[in-house]
Amino acid sequence: MDSIEITFHPITLYQLAAFPCAVLYCYLSSYALLPTILRYLYLLVGGVILASTSMGYYAILVLTPAMGATVLFHTNGHHSIHRWAFILQMAWQTLCHLWVMYRQYYLRELMTIRASIMISSLMLLTQKITSLAMDIHEKKVTVSTRGLMELKDKALPHPPLTRSVLAVLSYLLFFPALLGGPLCSFVEFQQQINKRKVWDNLGLIWTVGKSCTFFFIFHLLQSIITDHITFEYNLTDCRQWECVYVMWSTALVYKITYYSHWLLDEALLYSAGFYVGSGFYIAYTDSNIYTLETTNRISLFARTWNKSTAMWLRRLIFQKCTKWPLLSTFAFSAWWHGLYPGQVVGFLCWAVMVEADYRIHAKLSIISKSPYIRFLCKLITWFQTQMIIAFIMLAVEMRNVTMLKALVFSYNSLFPLLYCVSLIFLIKLKP
pLDDT of residue 425: 87
Check whether 4 has a pLDDT greater than 70: no
Higher pLDDT, 364 or 390: 390
Share of the chain above pLDDT 70, in %: 88
Mean predicted lDDT score pLDDT of the chain: 86
pLDDT of residue 110: 83
Average pLDDT over residues 346-365: 92
Q: Compute the radius of gyration of the chain from its Cα atoms.
A: 23
Q: Which of 306, 361, 400, 412 is catalytic?
A: 306
Tens of pLDDT, residue by residue over 86-123, are: 999 999 999 999 999 999 888 888 888 999 999 999 99
- Neighbouring C-beta atoms of residue 160, cutoff 10 Å: 11
Cα separation, 374 vs 366, in Å, equals 10
pLDDT of residue 69: 94
Nearest to 130 by CA among 396, 335, 271, 282: 335
Check whether 62 has a pLDDT greater than 90: yes
Q: How confident is the model at residue 147 (pLDDT cuts 50, 70, 90)?
A: very low
Check whether 382 has a pLDDT greater than 50: yes
Higher pLDDT, 416 or 153: 416
Q: Point out the least confidently predicted range of 195-199, 355-359, 423-427.
A: 195-199
306 annotated active-site: yes
Average pLDDT over residues 59-72: 95
Tens of pLDDT, residue by residue over 294-319, are: 999 999 999 999 999 999 999 999 99
pLDDT of residue 7: 65
pLDDT of residue 325: 94
Cα separation, 181 vs 269, in Å, equals 7
Q: Which of 9, 74, 78, 337 is catalytic?
A: 337
Indicate the DSSP class of residue 323. S
Check whether 146 has a pLDDT greater than 70: no
Q: Point out the least confidently predicted range of 20-24, 210-214, 330-334.
A: 210-214
Check whether 337 has a pLDDT greater than 80: yes
Check whether 418 has a pLDDT greater than 80: yes
pLDDT of residue 127: 96
Cα separation, 180 vs 266, in Å, equals 8
pLDDT of residue 282: 43
Cα separation, 164 vs 176, in Å, equals 20
pLDDT of residue 279: 45
Residue type, 56: G
pLDDT of residue 1: 38
337 annotated active-site: yes
Tens of pLDDT, residue by residue over 150-188, are: 555 544 455 667 788 899 999 999 999 999 888 988 988
Nearest to 396 by CA among 408, 381, 410: 408
Q: Which residues contact 131 (CB under 8 A, 6 or more apart)?
A: 183, 185, 186, 312, 315
pTM of the model as a whole? 0.91
Nearest to 355 by CA among 316, 418, 299, 291: 299
Average pLDDT over residues 189-207: 74
Cα separation, 129 vs 59, in Å, equals 17
